Amino acid sequence: MSLLREGQMIGGTCEVERFLGEGAFAEVYRVRHRFLGRQAMKVFKAVGMTMEEMERMLFEAILLSRLSHPNIIHVFDADVTETSLGTSGFFTMEYVAGGTLEQFWRSHGTQFVPAEATVEIMRQVCRGLAVAHAENPPIVHRDIKPQNVLVGYDTSGLNAKVCDFGLAKQVNPLTMLASARGTRCFKAPETILDWQNDSRAGDVWAIGSTMYLLLTDRLPYSELGDDGTLDPRRFERPLIPPSRLNVQVDGGLDEIVFRTLDRRPDCRYQTAAELLRDLNSWRPRLRSTKDRALSLGSSAISKTALGVHSPADQEAAPRMIRKALRLAKGARFADAADVMEEAFNEQPELRTRYEYQVKLWRRGVAM
């Protein structure tokens, strides 16, 4: 049973529109604030807690309110409300219609995500995470992965926001380390050897794993976790350069990816800011006509690295397009853009066809 129901009013200002998804500890809903428009609401499953326990549960909201940056999800409010199970804590945050980076990746179907788009998204992830890494003492996210990055469109184009700081932790100011948590296939080798050994460089590894996935449609050490073991010797095999799997990738980008995934923590980029400097310096190479043709080819393995995904609803996308166009005709450009971004995740070819339209709508311009 869901914690909230559609149409339920929260605090007299937010109406629950629909369920978006859930994790181990919380459910997420799309809500409409009476004055501020659409937001996302994260509601914790734990009930019957003391106020002290509730404050600990809402640590993520408190942390996000401090880490203000365009590439970190913005929190609006935090409180408690009645749910189907009892009193639960919640907080509201920005709603990103495009969904997660995993959805963005999958929406490209049998095609690779363009290398330029991958690098731009990783730049934005680094900009946001650099703010946390620069705190005193530094904050490590500990669970960077495609599901914890939201991707949508703003007036300038693609906009990525780091979210889900539920496992974030300040490092020990003396050792600059923290205990490791997070998703196994995105964790650095040193955290498998010692679960008190997470760090900012561990976050960099997770960024590198995510970047490798976007560029190649596979994880850098894809067999990790298949049999339930955590054998660090698996990291000793040579890593396949992304350029061998995707013609869009050049040697310079290979070098950046390899440094993010260096199994020696001291040889890796130490912070997101260090990685960002090299990403900012990268420029796509000029490709021959033959290379450009090859770059449009299909991925060898498609989008199965994070598990088999349920097929898109082929009927939903046309309905969404029609709805978006009706909203735009009524000058409801923000709502039209939201609906169109949701449609992108149902049919990958829509992104190329309507991306420019969405950018205009985000500027409040009709085409």
Helix (H) or strand (E) segment spanning residue 239: none
**Which two tokens mark 157?**
């184009």
Is residue 310 domain-resident?
no
Shared domain for 286 and 322, answered yes or no, is: no
Q: Is residue 203 part of a domain?
A: yes
Do 290 and 153 share a structural domain? yes
DSSP string, 277-299: HHHHH--PPP--HHHHHHHTSBP
Asked if residue 76 lies in contact with residue 84, where contact means CB atoms within 8 angstroms, the answer is: no
Question: 224: domain CATH number?
Answer: 1.10.510.10
Question: Are 196 and 119 contained in the same domain?
Answer: yes
DSSP state of 218: S
User: pLDDT of 186-245, one tens digit each?
Assistant: 988 988 877 788 899 999 999 999 999 999 999 998 654 444 455 677 788 889 999 999
What is the pLDDT at residue 224? 46
**Within a domain: 301:** no
DSSP class per residue in 30-77: EEEETTTEEEEEEEES--S--HHHHHHHTHHHHHHHHS--TTBPPEEE
- Residues 284, 161 share a domain: yes
Q: In the prediction, which pLDDT does 298 show?
A: 64
Question: What is the per-residue pLDDT across 280-312, written as a single tens digit (0 to 9) for each?
Answer: 999 887 655 555 555 555 677 778 888 776 665
241, 261, 295 — which closes off a domain?
A: 295
129 domain residue, yes or no: yes
355 shares its domain with 279: no
Q: Residues 86, 109: one domain? A: no
Cis peptide before 241 (omega within 30 of 0): no
Direct distance between the N- and C-terminal alpha carbons of the chain, in angstroms, rounded to an integer:
43
346 in a domain, yes or no?
yes
Q: Is residue 193 part of a domain?
A: yes
The DSSP secondary-structure symbol of 172 reads P
Model pLDDT, residue 40: 96
Q: Is residue 173 classed exposed, middle or buried when 0-12, 13-18 and 19+ CB atoms within 10 A define those classes?
A: exposed
Length of the chain: 367
Task: Based on the fold, state whether residues 71 and 173 are members of the same structural domain.
Answer: no
**Which residue range is the domain that position 35 belongs to?**
9-94
For residue 174, the model assigns a pLDDT of 65
Q: Which of residues 263, 295, 327 is at a domain's end?
A: 295
Whether residue 71 lies inside any domain: the answer is yes
H helical segments located in 134-197: 189-193
Is 82 a member of any domain? yes
Can you count the helices (H) and strands (E) in the chain? 13, 10
**Among the three residues 94, 114, 146, which one is the final residue of a domain in this structure?**
94
Please check whether residues 90 and 114 belong to one and the same domain: no
- pLDDT score of 321: 92
For the chain, 367 residues long, the average pLDDT of each consecutive 10-residue run is 93 94 89 94 87 80 88 93 90 93 90 95 98 93 94 92 87 71 85 84 97 95 56 80 95 97 95 98 72 57 76 78 93 93 84 90 85
pTM of the shown model: 0.89
* pLDDT score recorded for residue 227: 47
pLDDT of residue 150: 96
* Maximum alpha-carbon separation in the chain: 65
Exposed/middle/buried for residue 307 (C-beta within 10 Å: 0-12, 13-18, 19+): exposed
Number of domains making up the chain: 3
* Whether 119 and 245 share a structural domain: yes
203 and 219 inside one domain: yes
Q: Are residues 131 and 197 in the same domain?
A: yes
Question: Can you read off the two tokens belonging to residue 119?
Answer: 């690098």
Tell me, yes or no, whether 161 and 217 share the same domain: yes
For residues 160 and 248, give the distance between their C-alpha atoms in angstroms, rounded to a whole number: 21
